[in-house]
Amino acid sequence: MLWKGTIGMTQGLIIKNLSLYHKYEKMTLVNNVSLSIAPSEIVAVVGASGSGKSLLAHSILHLLPEEIEQNCEMLWNGETVNQHNIPQLRGKKIALIPQTIDALDPFLKVGKYLLTLMKGKNKQHRLHKIWSSLGLDIDWLAYFPFELSGGMARRVLIASALVQNPNLILADEPTPGVDADTLSGVLAPFNQMKQEGKSVLFITHDFFAALKVADRIAVMDNGEIIEVSPVSFFAGDGEKLKHTYTKALWQALPQNCFVNNWR
Amino acid sequence: MQILSFLLKKLTYLVILLFVVALITFLLVSLSPIDPIRAYIGADMLQVSPEQKEQIEIYWGLKESKPEQFISWITSLLKADFGTSLIYRAPVSEVIADKFFASLLLMGIAWILSLVGGIVLGSIAGMRQNGLLDRIIQLYSYVLVSTPGFWFGLLLLMIFAVGLGIFPIGLASPIGMLEGNVSFLDRLYHVILPALTLSILGTANIALHTREKLIEILKSPFILQAKAQGLKGFSLYKRHAFRHTILPAISLHFASFGELFGGAILAEQVFSYPGLGQAVVDAGLGGDVPLLLGIVIISAGFVFVGNFLADVLYKIIDPRFRKGLMKL
């Protein structure tokens, strides 16, 4: 059940051989990355800063700047995704949780911003529901982005992706600066989505958070995915893991270090 | 409290500005070869004896030292007494008020037209960066930005007034009509060509600035996120780019009251439009020192008001200022 291959999968997102090339710097940024995300699945992409994780999220939405050339085959629920049909998918089917609060219009109150994104009836009611499920105070809807604290901003960004009720969320570093105690609170909406049959691409360098929430973990290094393993493989000394980099990552976690040294 | 200290600061600036402007213009005028008595008497100079001339000099205080003259001028200025215009034979304040109204109509129309036109053109160009429309608008703007205003005015005059005869050749009202009979429509009809001259040139400047700013805004993270939310085209522009884009344009436009005034002087010359610009040229050529000094002081105040409004507007539109997050 955890090991979902791309073969025969018709629902969800499939990325085949994604390559990103910087035209001016003549540099390959992402090389031959293939990845799939099935419904009810949370796939984490972990890697160091600069390994190409965020580019991955933007390339799925075809939002990379002009100077980056993108080559790949992408399927969404069995249909090819390209420059022409991606605008209909953005936000409504595939939503992005951005990294920083800069992604919100500084001139708009967050509540107003979120309402304009929503369609259909009972907007206010639905927004309040999402808002309080994230533990946000209703009064904060009247705040401007620059008035939010770091932790509030984090959850508002998550709310901005949830309001259009998408099937896939691309979460770009949703947990920086979140301590272990409040981590479960921030991860809760992702688990909720999974229960509703939706999927999450969880991009992070927080390996600990990835292990906590994901079904499968893709390890990215230097623009390539070097390993995709179900989270159950991350156990013991990591003997089930294929790549030495992955093993090193696993063994470097505080609790494992402790175990290793103690032995 | 913050607003009060802001206003107080601006007021101090204004006082210092006006004082410095008054000092410099006074110095320039006193160094200039203008002989106020000759300017006052004009062609009858030969019939005035040296004794009479000296009496006038004493009466006007021209025998006093320069600092004394300056102080007595400043003191009357403070009493809102700008003196008497030599060519119009009327109090300077009255002449300025009269001319200023005519100019205000001209400058006001030109100001609004160029702002709206510039924002529309600049926004289209920015949204279609490097497209055909963008190239056309850019070409138009660069050509017009480098076009001298008086030349463009003459061109319009030749085409629309002389050639096609649609618009009057000059002045602010029909020739031979009494002041009381001139309707607002007449005034509007006469102001169209000079206002068009001013605004078409102003449009180009605003369009280029708006385009530049919009392109910059379109690169910001919140626009990328708005796109990720599925927004595009006009709704993207309307919701997230518009306010950010017009802010610098409006601010720039308020701050360019000086250029507007300068442009109006040329346009008024070309169209023989009897406004403040025409008056300042007459005052300069006719050696009308009180009027010249008065107009300089008033226009300095006018430009200051423009800059002040630009500052205030920024603070009203941007919530970061409203909430006191950024310093006033």
Backbone conformation region of residue A8, classed left if phi is above 0, alpha if psi is from -120 to 50, else beta: left
Q: Between residues B320 and A30, which one has the greater pLDDT?
A: A30
Return the pLDDT at B1.
66
Radius of gyration of chain A measured on its C-alpha atoms: 19
Among B135, B126, B138, B130, which Cα is nearest to B214's?
B126
Q: Which two tokens stand for residue B102?
A: 């005519």
Q: What is the CATH number of the domain that holds B303?
A: 1.10.3720.10
d(CA A213, CA A211): 6
Boundary (domain end) residue, out of B15, B45, B78: B78
The single residue listed with the structure tokens 């605003």 is B206
A92-103 confidence digits (pLDDT tens): 899 999 888 888
B247 neighbors B82 (Cβ within 8 angstroms): no
Are B291 and B266 in the same domain?
Answer: yes
Residues of A in contact with B220 (CB under 8 A): 102
Numbered residues of chain A with Cβ closer than 8 Å to any chain B Cβ: 58, 61, 63, 87-92, 95-96, 98, 100, 102-108, 116-117, 144, 146-147, 160, 164
Are B28 and B140 in the same domain?
Answer: no
By the CB < 8 Å criterion, does B72 face chain A? no
Phi, psi of A73 (to 5 degrees): -115, 130
Q: What does chain A come to in residues?
A: 263
The answer to whether the CB atoms of B228 and A87 lie below 8 A apart is no
Angle at B61 between CA B57 and CA B63, to 5 degrees: 65
Boundary (domain end) residue, out of B78, B102, B119: B78
Are B150 and B193 in the same domain?
Answer: yes
CB-CB: which of B228, B232, B240 is closest to A96? B228
d(CA A49, CA A88): 31
Return the pLDDT at B133.
93
Distance from CA of B215 to the nearest CA of A (A): 13
The single residue listed with the structure tokens 């006191």 is B324
CB-CB: which of B221, B230, B239 is closest to A87? B230
Tally the domains of chain B. 2
Are B105 and B146 in the same domain?
Answer: yes
d(CA B276, CA B104): 9
Task: State the SS3 of chain B.
Answer: CHHHHHHHHHHHHHHHHHHHHHHHHHHHHHHCCCCHHHHHHHHHHHHCCHHHHHHHHHHHCCCCCHHHHHHHHHHHHHCCCCCECCCCCCEHHHHHHHHHHHHHHHHHHHHHHHHHHHHHHHHHHHHCCCCHHHHHHHHHHHHHHCCCHHHHHHHHHHHHHHHCCCCCCCCCCCCCCCHHHCCHHHHHHHHHHHHHHHHHHHHHHHHHHHHHHHHHHHCCHHHHHHHHCCCCHHHHHHHHHHHHHHHHHHHHHHHCHHHHHHHHHHHHHHCCCCCHHHHHHHHHHCCCHHHHHHHHHHHHHHHHHHHHHHHHHHHHHCHHHHCCCCCC
A104 to chain B: nearest residue by CA? B222
A107 neighbors B244 (Cβ within 8 angstroms): yes
The answer to whether the CB atoms of B225 and A91 lie below 8 A apart is no
Which residues make beta-bridge pairs with A229?
Answer: A217
Are B112 and B257 in the same domain?
Answer: yes
Angle at A82 between CA A78 and CA A88, to 5 degrees: 85
The answer to whether the CB atoms of A103 and B319 lie below 8 A apart is no
The answer to whether the CB atoms of B323 and A103 lie below 8 A apart is no
Which residues make beta-bridge pairs with A202?
Answer: A44, A171
Share of chain A above pLDDT 70, in %: 93
Between the CA of residue A29 and those of A69, A171, A183, A245, B305, what are the distances in Å? 10, 20, 31, 19, 53
Mutate to test the interface with A, among B222, B242, B313, B316 (most CBs of A within 10 A): B222
Residues of B in contact with A61 (CB under 8 A): 227-228
Query: How many Cβ contacts (< 8 angstroms) between chains A and B?
Result: 65
pLDDT band at A7 (very low <50, low <70, confident <90, very high): low
Distance from CA of B235 to the nearest CA of A (A): 11
What ipTM was estimated for this complex? 0.84
A35-88 confidence digits (pLDDT tens): 999 999 999 998 887 777 888 889 999 988 888 989 988 999 888 888 888 988
Mutate to test the interface with B, among A83, A90, A102, A107 (most CBs of B within 10 A): A107
From chain B residues 220-279, the ones with a CB under 8 A of any chain A CB are 220-222, 224-232, 239-240, 243-244
**Does some domain include residue B85?**
no
B324 to chain A: nearest residue by CA? A147
Report, as an integer, the average pLDDT of A149-165. 87
Are B142 and B229 in the same domain?
Answer: yes
**pLDDT at residue A4 greater than cutoff 70:** no
Range of the domain at B68: 2-78
**Does some domain include residue B198?**
yes
On the 0-12 / 13-18 / 19+ scale of CB atoms within 10 A, A27 is exposed
Distance from CA of B243 to the nearest CA of A (A): 8
Helix (H) or strand (E) holding A169: strand A168-172
B240 to chain A: nearest residue by CA? A105
d(CA A12, CA A39): 6
**Does some domain include residue B213?**
yes
**Does some domain include residue B86?**
no
Are B186 and B44 in the same domain?
Answer: no
The answer to whether the CB atoms of A90 and B229 lie below 8 A apart is yes
| Domain residue ranges in chain A | 13-93+166-262, 102-165
**Does some domain include residue B7?**
yes
Residues of B in contact with A104 (CB under 8 A): 222, 225
Are B71 and B121 in the same domain?
Answer: no
A214-237 confidence digits (pLDDT tens): 999 999 888 888 889 898 888 777
Position A41, amino acid? E
The answer to whether the CB atoms of A87 and B232 lie below 8 A apart is yes
Return the pLDDT at B207.
93
Least confident of A51-60, A111-120, A176-185, A242-251: A176-185
Among A137, A198, A195, A138, which Cα is nearest to A162's?
A198
Residues of B in contact with A147 (CB under 8 A): 323, 325
Are B250 and B288 in the same domain?
Answer: yes
Distance from CA of B147 to the nearest CA of A (A): 35
Residues of A in contact with B226 (CB under 8 A): 105
d(CA B46, CA A121): 91
d(CA A102, CA A126): 25
Return the pLDDT at A1.
35
Strand A224-230 relative to strand A216-221, pairing:
antiparallel
What's the average pLDDT block by block, 10 residues per block, for chain B (328 residues)?
82 91 87 74 73 78 79 84 82 87 87 93 92 93 88 88 81 70 77 88 90 91 90 87 86 85 85 85 84 88 89 80 62
Return the pLDDT at B326.
58
Are B59 and B199 in the same domain?
Answer: no
Share of chain A above pLDDT 90, in %: 18
Among B247, B315, B325, which Cα is nearest to A146's?
B325
A95 neighbors A170 (Cβ within 8 angstroms): yes
Distance from CA of A182 to the nearest CA of B (A): 26
Q: What sign has the CA pseudo-torsion A134, A138, A143, A147?
A: negative
Are B135 and B195 in the same domain?
Answer: yes
d(CA B117, CA B211): 12
The answer to whether the CB atoms of B221 and A103 lie below 8 A apart is yes
Q: What rounded mean pLDDT belongs to chain A?
A: 85
A13-93+166-262 belongs to which homologous superfamily? P-loop containing nucleotide triphosphate hydrolases (3.40.50.300)
Distance from CA of B129 to the nearest CA of A (A): 13
Q: Which two tokens stand for residue A96?
A: 């992005």
Are B42 and B74 in the same domain?
Answer: yes
d(CA A161, CA A167): 11
CB-CB: which of B221, B228, B317 is closest to A91? B228
Phi, psi of A152 (to 5 degrees): -65, -45
Which residues make beta-bridge pairs with A216?
Answer: A43, A230
Query: How far is C-alpha B116 from the chain's CA centre?
Result: 17
**Does some domain include residue B63?**
yes
Boundary (domain end) residue, out of B47, B78, B109: B78
CB-CB: which of B222, B230, B243 is closest to A103? B222
Distance from CA of A221 to the nearest CA of B (A): 25
Residues of A in contact with B221 (CB under 8 A): 98, 100, 102-103
The answer to whether the CB atoms of A90 and B244 lie below 8 A apart is no
A28 neighbors A83 (Cβ within 8 angstroms): no
Residues with Cβ within 8 Å of residue B177, at least 6 apart in sequence: B186
The answer to whether the CB atoms of A92 and B244 lie below 8 A apart is no
d(CA A139, CA A130): 14
The single residue listed with the structure tokens 């919009």 is B214
A195-215 confidence digits (pLDDT tens): 999 999 999 888 888 888 999
CB-CB: which of A90, A107, A116 is closest to B228? A90
